[in-house]
Structure 1
């Protein structure tokens, strides 16, 4: 079992509040987040961006291991995750994460690749975590 941690600190409340996120690894180190980094264009991060990064990374790594397990050693995978936040009554809800994959895997049958990619989408831990629709489109060269 692996446990990873992160800490959020928020000073002030509502739109006037300002926060900082720090991760166990130090990749995030008092990284700013606030209403304006979430809904505006202020420099910093936000929960949806971090979920998108987590989902893209998790799916891509899961597919990488599936390809290695199927005997493929060379290639590249690049995934973009677009996480959608929508109003849900008085609050908000993450309703979907759309994965867009560009892959180069020499010698793989396109149907085999598709099967491995969709299996990785269904089984990566972040896909399983999300209570949202998860889609995948892909290009294989």
Structure 2
């Protein structure tokens, strides 16, 4: 007997019920360090999701293509005709952070390894499915107060 491919995405990365929202995607949970301790898994608060949804809905939907142009200044190579680009999404960018093409980044080494951009921008975004709608969220607009353990 031969079985077809098994889709395990929902098994390894299941949606999470947060209040009245069903949230799916990387970015809804993060490791947060408290007072120099080891990181604990935390997820977005319902009040944070309320704020994301309300602000994004007021700003109105965009095509996914437009969010990539705002974030990067261009589409990634080879994606010009990708059908997903015409999907309606909501961009959460309440601080009107600039895209990568609009900043002059200075690479700053971090303690313990790694680097960071010295300028806050739209480079770091999470794509979350909230109640069946896609939200592209500027992660630099969120703080530790937006999460709960």
Same fold (TM over 0.5): no
Query: Greater share of helix residues, 1 or 2?
Result: 1
**More strand by percentage:** 1
> Quick one: higher RCO (CA 8 Å, sep 6+), 1 or 2?
2
TM bucket (normalised to shorter chain) is: under 0.3
Task: Report the TM-score when normalising by structure 1.
Answer: 0.26
Q: What is the TM-score with the length of structure 2 in the denominator?
A: 0.25
